[in-house]
Structure 1
Amino acid sequence: MHLWIYLVFLWKAVLCEPLKDHMLCTDLFTCYSAHYTSVAYDSAFCENKGVLTTMSTEQEKQSILQLLENTNSGNVSFWIGLKREKQQCTQKELKLRGFRWKEGNSNQTEVSKWIKEPALTCTDSRCGTLKVSLNRNKVVQEWGWEEASCKTHYGFICKYRDEEICKALQIKGMSVVNYTAHYQLTKLSVQYLPSKTLANVTCQSGKTVVLKCQNQAWQLTSNGYTDVEYMCLCKEGHIQSDEGKCVDIDECQKNPCEFKCINTVGSFACECDKNKGYALGEDKKSCVLQKGIQIGSGSTRMPFGDITSIVNDMDLNAGEKRLTESSTRLSSTHQPLNERNPAPTSASGFTTLVHDEDFKSKETRSNVFIPVVVGIVVLVLLIVIVVGVFKCCFRKSSKKLKSRKREPSNGSIDLSAKNTDSAQHVNENAIEKENNYVAG
């Protein structure tokens, strides 16, 4: 029976793959490494100034449990930085039961979970272990602390402070990446990597490069080129040189602009002749007049000043005909915007109007017609106001004249009445004298 047990252990030791040491780094510039080599407590060595880990905060607890997932199934024990020295007694009322963290010799903790209470003693040194139970899916189900003799052999968990950790690589066009830490570990997490980690990158094109984590950034070990994001696939407007670097493309070599092209990093910009009144069109490549009419089938255009003089001289009834004649005269002497595109388009060598000429001539007429209509309306209103004022003044003067005429007529009536009375009185006196004479 005992022979079968020894054979089983021998078969596991020979055929089973040993557990791999691995590391997990967090965004708090802290890394944790799990080592499966069984040693006594005082023999647990953490390289690069690491220490046996604390487990005093919730954040630290979660990081350590995440570190141990996906590693093995069953029960696993690790030394952590808990120790109670000889002649220091167990204190059940404290969270750490009289134990202290090796880092900083502190007895402070937010986390306290003992699977088995420590023995009440003051005579022996005791060390703390982290016991973890993982199910078949390699997920942590149970965990807790337990004291043990410091001479017992277990694996151990180390803690490192690293101010230069790097985020995992995210490179466009990357196919495969393999990380190698300087801690001689065989497995790393893929979220954050410790400083000095080497990354062997294979691009989809087959190109391979080696990067190194330094000062929180990935750098090429060969020439120090730091534009790592576009190392495999350059961003728009760039192309890889023979040295593997992304260099800017000069888009102006393809003559994309009508007037002038300016090359920029990753793109280009067009300009037009502003002195002649031209501006970029909606396509940001062609040039159009800010105001005026475009003529010709090529890039030849008439200056706005010439068009304005034509519109001012033409008759509204025969505007279209005269605009055509004037445009034909001016096109023979006007210089084109782009000398690569000649202006003449007909057999006779003269430039004809484009299709939008009628629309623009009508627009010019409407621009002249509206102010004229407004002026006429204002003039009519002024005439109405003047006539109204004149009528009001005329009525007042008529009333005064009539009142003046009435006063002399009344006086004459009174005077005539007086004259009549006087005449009548004279007649009566004459008749009286005549009667006296007859009687006498």
Structure 2
Amino acid sequence: MELWMGFYLVSFLNIARCVPESSYTVHLNKLSFEKAQNYCKPGSFLTNIPNEKEMAKILKTIWDENSKTDTSFWIGLKKDKGICVEQHLTLKGFHWTVDNSTQSDFKTWKVEPPVTCAILRCGLLSVEYSHSGAKSNGFMDTTCRNEHAFICKRNIQLECPRPEILSSHDMIEPKNDPYTREIVCRSGARFNLTCSKDLVWTVAGNENVDISQLCLECNKGYRRDASGNCADVDECKESKPCEHECQNTEGSYKCLHSYNGNDINEPPQPPTTTLKNRGNSVQTQPTSPPDDVRTNETVLHIDESAGDISNIVVPAIIALLIFIVLLVIVAAIVKGCLRRRSIKLARRKAEAVALNGSSSMEKVNEKEET
């Protein structure tokens, strides 16, 4: 019997270690009670304070926020209309909004709430600061329309969905923290994810990165940084690819040359050899550099302009239009000449018929045929 009891006790302790502790977030932006409630949702709620242990965690969270000015924080404590304040109760007739519970081991009120049944009231946690940390002054109540900083508590009953990461990767899940993951991509890149209060996975330190893209490769010359963004790789620093000076560019690099103190972009002049002929005249000719001397290095990613096609098309169109206009003019001239000729011939025929009769007409016709 004792053996079985020991086994159950060990099992219970193992389960207890795997149950995540409640986590709190302190928000210094001031909102009304209702807006603060909605801000915490869906993964959190305005915190309850069931005991001294939870109070200590909350005070530590407030201190870690490094805020020494805000002394009043909304908590999930509320008294509805029609419910009377009862001074003998621990929560004085208030209840925790997360579960409507009225239980709490923390019994300190900084100011006793006024006895009323008709007014809606909401609860605050009052704190003060010393050189060593934050200290609680107890609960207070006020109208729910006032604006204060507030404290959200993680809803451990709601779980973040599994992160969706494209491409092959490994996912490391800490046993005691269901709200963090470590992603190890095939490339070796590692990213830490955290689950937000809205139950959304984000990269720690950069909430705007699409986590599904983390393990996808960037374009050539780029690599993902710790925040998950594709950043330019400085090849000049990492691999020293150039013999002389290296210039990093966006997504690539360039190798530059230095020619005996001349401008870095000025090509070297080939050496010359002086020759003498029989007439004592001097003649020079360039000599080729030795094979073991490098006069050029490859420059990567040099874009060559292919030329503007409009320089060819536009003149061709203009020439075609001029040719068409000339054809029209020539056709008009020919047509006019033919018309004048036909008019003259008709006029001659008419004159011949009128003066000489048909015989003259025949001569005219014979003349035309010749």
TM tier relative to shorter chain: 0.3 to 0.5
With a CA cutoff of 8 Å and minimum separation of 6, indicate the structure with the bigger relative contact order. 2
TM-score under structure 2 normalisation?
A: 0.39
TM-score under structure 1 normalisation?
A: 0.33
Q: Which has the higher helix share?
A: 1
